[in-house]
Structure 1
Amino acid sequence: MFRDNTKVIKIGNRVIGGGNPILIQSMTNTKTEDVKATVDQIQRLTKVGCDIIRCAVPNMEAAKALKDIKKHISIPLVADIHFDYRLAIAAMENGADKIRINPGNIGDDEKLGAVVKVAKERKIPIRVGVNSGSLEKDILAKHGRVNAEGLVESALNNVKRIEDMGYDNLVISIKSSDVIMCIKAHELIAKEANYPLHVGITEAGTVNAGNIKSSVGLGIILYQGIGDTIRVSLTGDPVEEIKSAKLILKTLGYRRGGIDVVSCPTCGRTQINLIKLAGEVEKLTAEFDHLNIKVAVMGCAVNGPGEAREADIGIAGGNGVGLLIKKGEIVRKVAEDELLDTLRYELENWK
């Protein structure tokens, strides 16, 4: 299932690689120097299942804020650095559990070496991040355009620069907003490097478009056993990234726990506001992440029980009548407006 020959990397109190469970990441969209806002968002993300959080560090104030942020969170914090090697060093000195850099824009070997020296002293992993918008000019000239081969070449070149400095506590990420390019790049690098891979479709788009692109890309990559930690990049509330990542992993069978909600697509027989009911059920079931069951929401009291046969529990309704269904059998009739409360009671008392 997984590439279990990858190097195991410790990030704060979590580990990735070596066949360990795939961890979910997100990134704050607050100003990092606003400690309260950043902590509040990280705590919300942690509550819904975020395993590792990344914060932008565009200035020294943000780097120093990491020290206070770390006091109030329970998951590893990754500092996202671009261009200024001094910010990478400051971030590590202020408690970052990992740093994300693109060595190509950090600077020459002297500057990169200064970053690696501190990382080595503190045993802090470095994520070597390359994306389609940051390829070096010589690689672009060689390939004539941005492509999967160029992404992999850039990543491996930058990894070698750090290896040559005597450090191999590394994670690799190669991202593109082009789904097919991203898939091919991961297939290529999985054959060339044994470092853990952080997988995502960068700049995927809005919650709607981004979810589709991420599901297709991540699904294909992960199904091949490639990937050790993931992020679903969405233009929106980062909480939505966690929900989507959890569902992708659960759909592929890589993560257990949490209720799987299935619902019929509605048709001319539907005699209930199924769209509203399904949304309410999805919101309700999010409170029961400890249950590993399937819940069906059906809009037809005639065909509902049969269609819900494979679910552990289901509800169906129409014409003022609600049905509670277990394994395809009707176990109770209730008023239609009592369906949601009936389902909540069953989940709260699930055995």
Structure 2
Amino acid sequence: MSEIRPWRTIERRQSKQIMVGNVPVGGDAPITVQTMTNTPTSDAKATIDQIRRCEEAGADIIRVSCPDTDSTAAMPEIVKAANIPIVADIHFHYKRALEAADAGAACLRINPGNIGSDERVKEVIRAAKANGCAIRIGVNAGSLEKHLLEKYGEPCPDALVESAMDHIKILQDHDFHEYKVAVKASDLMLAVAAYTDLAYQVDCPLHLGITEAGGLIGGTVKSALGIGSLLWAGIGDTIRVSLSAEPEEEVRVGFEILKSLGLRSRGVRVVSCPSCARQGFDVIRTVQTLEERLQHIKTPMSLSVLGCVVNGPGEARETDIGVTGGGNGSHMVYLSGVKDHHIENESMVDHIVKLVEEKAAKIEAGEAEAFVPAH
């Protein structure tokens, strides 16, 4: 039911494209959604199980922390089991980067200026080149270099951008160009300003995120505002929503941000009312149940759930499947924007789920080319 209109179009910043494993990042590639495991990486089974849940939620890329040799020792098993590229998160131990690259990591998250001597930097870059690894420079307001804090007095956009440019120069001086950059902060205004400034100075892919954003509700709001405003301005090639929640929730929120801006399509986009005294059924509980039961649907489609006939028919005309609350427990179902049949309260949820599943199966069988794939 959706169509592209000029006022909905976002003109993306032109960036060069790199490969993270088999996933393109930047250029005209779809904006990818990332998350990070929180299991001990040394526990390969637990980490693989968590990666599998994130894959089911739609993650394109996933990061795992490699703080010690036990973690990098588990990487070959993890990489082999994963269906999406693995980014190895490295901080100060350059040998962990070498081990992760040899173990099959598709990307190293590392700040080259923080790992010591020039020779160490050369070793990491040699390992990245030899193994086809990309590198993500991860500047964070909470861990800026001491000399930048002394220069600027506090974390600020100029400090984050200068840090990023310093690290970029190190890679470029060693003829390494397969990199992407993040300039994250928990202060969304600071992060947005830093990303905006950096976007005008470099052409590499940018990894967006509001770091330490908070819990599921607060972190979602902060991330949607910060990441969303950058994406709306055309800035950003890959995103990670940082929540104090399970990583698969980060993936779901990430896709909701992209879906809301028309930048990616995956699964069911639900249009629903906040409910009021006019509602003909319990809208809140119905939507909660439908969102839970439709998580397995990957095919893009829209579903409207409106409690009454005030805005219901108008919204239903714009969605693939719609239901509008009526009187006496009988509600109107719309298919492709057209009134089709009535459904009673008792069977409404099961009926809607069946309609969505049937439409998804039909699309997957012969009409999938009309939709943008999730990945």
Query: What's the TM-score bracket when you normalise by the shorter of the two chains?
Result: over 0.9
> Which residue is 1:175 aligned to?
184
> Which residue is 1:309 aligned to?
317
Q: 1 CA distance for matches of 2:222 and 2:194?
A: 16
> Which residue is 1:2 aligned to?
12
Q: Specify the code of the residue in structure 1 equivalent to 2:323.
A: I
User: 1:307, CA displacement in angstroms?
Assistant: 4.7
User: 1:158, CA displacement in angstroms?
Assistant: 1.1
Q: 2 CA distance for matches of 1:202 and 1:315?
A: 38
Q: Secondary structure at the match of 1:71?
A: helix
User: 1:205, CA displacement in angstroms?
Assistant: 0.5
Q: What is the aligned length?
A: 349
Contact 2:41 2:65 in 1 (8 A): yes
Q: Specify the code of the residue in structure 2 equivalent to 1:341.
A: D
Map 1:236-247 to 2 at 5 A: 236-247=245-256
Which one of 132, 136, 139 corresponds to residue 123 of structure 1? 132
Two-structure CA RMSD over aligned residues (Å): 1.7
User: 1:103, CA displacement in angstroms?
Assistant: 2.5
> Which residue is 2:8 aligned to?
none
Q: 2 CA distance for matches of 1:307 and 1:268?
A: 19
Q: Specify the code of the residue in structure 2 equivalent to 1:184.
A: A
Q: 2 CA distance for matches of 1:310 and 1:10?
A: 37
Q: Specify the code of the residue in structure 2 equivalent to 1:295.
A: L
Say yes or no: does 1:341 pair with 2:330: no
Map 1:152-231 to 2 at 5 A: 152-231=161-240
**What is the TM-score of this pair, normalised by structure 1?**
0.94
User: 1:302, CA displacement in angstroms?
Assistant: 6.7
Say yes or no: does 1:11 pair with 2:20: yes
Cα deviations by residue, 1:222-271 (Å, 9 ceiling, x for unpaired):
11211111101110111111111111111111112422101111112224
Cα deviations by residue, 1:174-208 (Å, 9 ceiling, x for unpaired):
10011111111111111111111111111111010
- Unpaired runs of at least 5, structure 2: 1-10, 363-375
Q: 2 CA distance for matches of 1:319 and 1:237?
A: 41
Q: 2 CA distance for matches of 1:72 and 1:303?
A: 48
Q: 1 CA distance for matches of 2:309 and 2:177?
A: 60
Say yes or no: does 1:146 pair with 2:155: yes
Q: Secondary structure at the match of 1:311?
A: coil
Contact 2:113 2:170 in 1 (8 A): no
Q: 1 CA distance for matches of 2:311 and 2:110?
A: 55
Contact 2:104 2:131 in 1 (8 A): no
Contact 2:35 2:62 in 1 (8 A): yes
**What is the TM-score of this pair, normalised by structure 2?**
0.89
Q: Secondary structure at the match of 1:349?
A: helix
Q: 2 CA distance for matches of 1:169 and 1:330?
A: 52
Contact 1:23 1:52 in 2 (8 A): yes
Q: Secondary structure at the match of 1:50?
A: coil
Q: Specify the code of the residue in structure 1 equivalent to 2:209.
A: G
User: 1:160, CA displacement in angstroms?
Assistant: 0.6
Say yes or no: does 1:57 pair with 2:54: no
Q: Secondary structure at the match of 1:297?
A: strand
> Which residue is 1:321 aligned to?
330
User: 1:329, CA displacement in angstroms?
Assistant: 4.8
Using the TM superposition, name which of 15-24 and 207-216 deviates more.
15-24
The sequence identity of aligned pairs, in percent, is: 43
Q: 1 CA distance for matches of 2:83 and 2:315?
A: 42
User: 1:306, CA displacement in angstroms?
Assistant: 4.3
User: 1:319, CA displacement in angstroms?
Assistant: 4.0
Using the TM superposition, name which of 89-98 and 250-259 deviates more.
250-259
User: 1:80, CA displacement in angstroms?
Assistant: 0.1
- Unpaired runs of at least 5, structure 1: none
Cα deviations by residue, 1:155-174 (Å, 9 ceiling, x for unpaired):
10011112212222211111
Contact 1:63 1:87 in 2 (8 A): yes
Q: Specify the code of the residue in structure 2 equivalent to 1:234.
A: L
Using the TM superposition, name which of 37-46 and 303-312 deviates more.
303-312
Q: Specify the code of the residue in structure 1 equivalent to 2:333.
A: L
Residues 274 and 164 of structure 1: CA distance in aligned 2, closer, same or farther (over 3 Å)? same
